[in-house]
Amino acid sequence: MAATVIDGKALAAKCKARVAKEVESLSRRPGLAVIIVGDNQASRTYINSKRKDCDECGIYSEEYALPADAGQAALMEIIESLNGRPDIDGILCQLPLPEGYDEEAVLLAIDPDKDVDGFHPINVGRLSTGQPCFAPCTPAGVMEMLKEYGVDPKGKECVVVGRSNIVGKPMGMLLLAAHGTVTICHSRTKDLGEVCRRADILVAAVGKRNIITADMVKEGAVVIDVAMNRNEAGKLCGDVDYPAVAEKASLITPVPGGVGPMTRAMLMVNTLEAARRHGC
């Protein structure tokens, strides 16, 4: 039996509608500032989508577009200014930054209580110790999808393929917090297929097209494809060999239309939460 397709677009719309309704009850509109440096087209497309999401949710948004050669000092000055503004609840600096910028210094400069991307070490530490925090939007979106489709990680074998700070590691921590038994795989994992075949919940977040094939997936597993790659024809695709894996999985996310929309929706959720923390 073919897998049920997890509709990320529909769930994202549902999340944003909930945010919009809750924003109406606040004393002021939440504010999100987005910084983009350089002319990366993928980043520009993503920023435009975020602006649209803010409009749908009733969130005030500001954009700061800097040329690639603006320099670290100019970027840090903007962040410092935004940290001090009471009308800005969330600050997002679009990554990757052009060559020559210190990304770590930029992430450290953002006030942790305005770090709606969930990348600041303080939020990472809070996440790892089970404290209230802003979780990175992509893993948080995956957890929301599992919840919506009735998948409880408790007691299940959960395998995350990928160990990035943005997705793989926080994904593992969120699944662990939900009482899953978690294995994180990476480029040096021996016999990746054997490990993946143990998974009740398999999350692919490598960025390598078709790295997850049908023979690596247990019958009835839940398969979450986080990656965004392009095939030879330029078409978006993920890490999972979707047609073949969909014949074995019980639930599967498409690319596009799966995790991507939920990542953006969770940014809106985090911005709402930041506004609440700031007394809205």
What would the pLDDT profile of 84-134 be if each residue is shown by its tens digit? 999 999 999 999 999 999 999 999 999 999 999 999 999 999 999 999 999
Q: What mean pLDDT comes out for the span 45-61?
A: 94
Instruction: Please list the active-site residues.
Output: 50, 94, 117
CA nearest neighbour of 213 among 256, 246, 189: 246
- Determine phi and psi for 105, rounding to 5 degrees: -65, -35
ω before 256 within 30° of 0 (cis)? yes
Q: Say which residues have a Cβ less than 8 Å from residue 32's Cβ, sequence separation at least 6.
A: 50, 54, 59, 60, 61, 62, 88, 89, 90, 91, 92, 116, 267, 271
CA nearest neighbour of 263 among 19, 50, 115: 50
Tens digit of each residue's pLDDT (9 = 90 or more) over 154-198: 999 999 999 999 999 999 999 999 999 999 999 899 999 999 999
* 125 or 39, which is more confident: 125
Share of the chain above pLDDT 90, in %: 92
Q: Say which residues have a Cβ less than 8 Å from residue 117's Cβ, sequence separation at least 6.
A: 92, 93, 134, 136, 137, 267, 270
Res 43: pLDDT: 85
Q: What mean pLDDT comes out for the span 3-18?
A: 98
Res 40: pLDDT: 84
- Determine phi and psi for 263, rounding to 5 degrees: -60, -45
Tens digit of each residue's pLDDT (9 = 90 or more) over 62-79: 999 999 999 999 999 999
Which domains, ranges and CATH numbers included, belong to the chain?
A: 29-111 (3.40.50.10860), 136-259 (3.40.50.720)
Rounded CA separation 180/200 (Å): 10
* Counts of helices then strands in the chain (DSSP H, E): 10, 11
Burial 113-129 (b: 16+ CB within 10 A, else e): bbbbbbbbeebbebbee
Split at pLDDT 50, 70, 90, the class of 1 is low
Q: Is the pTM of the predicted complex or chain greater than 0.85?
A: yes
Element (H, E) at 193: helix 192-196
